[in-house]
Structure 1
Amino acid sequence: MRSDANGIDAPEHAETVERFLDRLAWGDIDGVVTLFAERVDWDVPGAVEVPWLGTRTTRSEVADYFTAHPTHVAKEEFVVERTLVDGAEAAVSGRFRSRVIRSGAAMESWFVLQLTVTAGEITRYRFYEDSLTVARAWATTAKGAAGQTQETHKGATD
């Protein structure tokens, strides 16, 4: 049986990953956040103008992510298709469908989540998705007075 530098066996890491996914599915944000170490190496890469993307380094910043994200995005579907745990490392793959609340723009993508678990806490978090789809959905302006979605913002041109 493989273990990490602290002597924690892989089954304990798998239990932490499963607790994370279960709490996330139930919307137990406080429970999700308690699974993260005080210091964390977090990155959700993508366009800088999308407020929930980027890096975080503390449990408090992780809590901010999990409380702010639902104010921007309405989850329609989040399906975990496979979870693999190898020692302290885990990979979760699946797909999601959601909408930007301010505009109703749809986002749909496959994803891969990479986690590192150390001594029962998540110390590294990477979420990979179709960041172009997310950026385009975020750039769509809010619905107009007639309730029709406005055109996607194209950005400044030179």
Structure 2
Amino acid sequence: MTATIETTTRAVITELLRRIGQGDPERIAELYAEHADWKLDWPEDEHGRAATPWIRHRATRADAAAHYRELAAHHVPGQADTRIERILVDGADAVVLGEIRQTARATGRPYRARFALHLTIEDGAIVRHHVYEDSLTVARAFAP
């Protein structure tokens, strides 16, 4: 039973990463459950978040699509790369480790940020999306 769960989890994660690479927010969002636990490791009391509106908690499939649209709108097209170093799967849970390389559209500053993405899959859909990233690096890239 666990092997089947892990196979499904790995397949959904692989498809998620493929769709993120293609850049279609609506197709990416199709992989999320209608309601999902979406959290980002970002200080709740942090000021100046107008420059990084995609960095916030989410709760729905529509929110997931909005996240990927906002992320694309605030970065320079063609100057992005994500390096996946490892995907760890344990039953319905997976952790993706890697590094994001982007260029902030507002400032033109490139940045590299390490991340860990904790995902949980239920019935073939993503129900948990928790991101832990180097938020200081991201904030500095967008600071005036």
TM-score (norm 1): 0.80
- Compare 110-119 and 68-77 and name the one that shifted more: 68-77
Q: Is the 8 A contact 2:25 2:66 kept in 1?
A: no
Gapped runs of 5+ residues in structure 1?
142-158
Higher helix share: 2
Match of 1:87 in 2: 91
How does 1:1-158 map onto structure 2 within 5 Å?
1-2=1-2, 9-46=5-42, 47=46, 49=49, 50-74=52-76, 75-139=79-143, 141=144
The residue type paired with residue 81 of structure 1 is: E
Distance 1:107 1:69 in 2: 14
SS in 1 for 2:80: strand
SS in 2 for 1:73: coil
Please list every run of at least 4 consecutive aligned residues from structure 1 whose deviation after the TM superposition is greater than 3 angstroms: none
TM-score (norm 2): 0.87
Q: How far does residue 78 in structure 1 lie from its aligned partner after superposition?
A: 0.8
Q: How far does residue 28 in structure 1 lie from its aligned partner after superposition?
A: 3.0
Q: How far does residue 76 in structure 1 lie from its aligned partner after superposition?
A: 2.3
Larger radius of gyration: 1
Q: What root-mean-square deviation, in Å, do the aligned CA atoms of Structure 1 and Structure 2 show? A: 1.6
Q: Which has the higher contact order (CA 8 A, sep 6+)?
A: 2
Deviations 1:73-120 (A, max 9, x none): 234221111111110000001112111101112221111111000110
Q: Is the 8 A contact 1:43 1:53 kept in 2?
A: no
Q: How far does residue 63 in structure 1 lie from its aligned partner after superposition?
A: 0.9
Gapped runs of 5+ residues in structure 2?
none
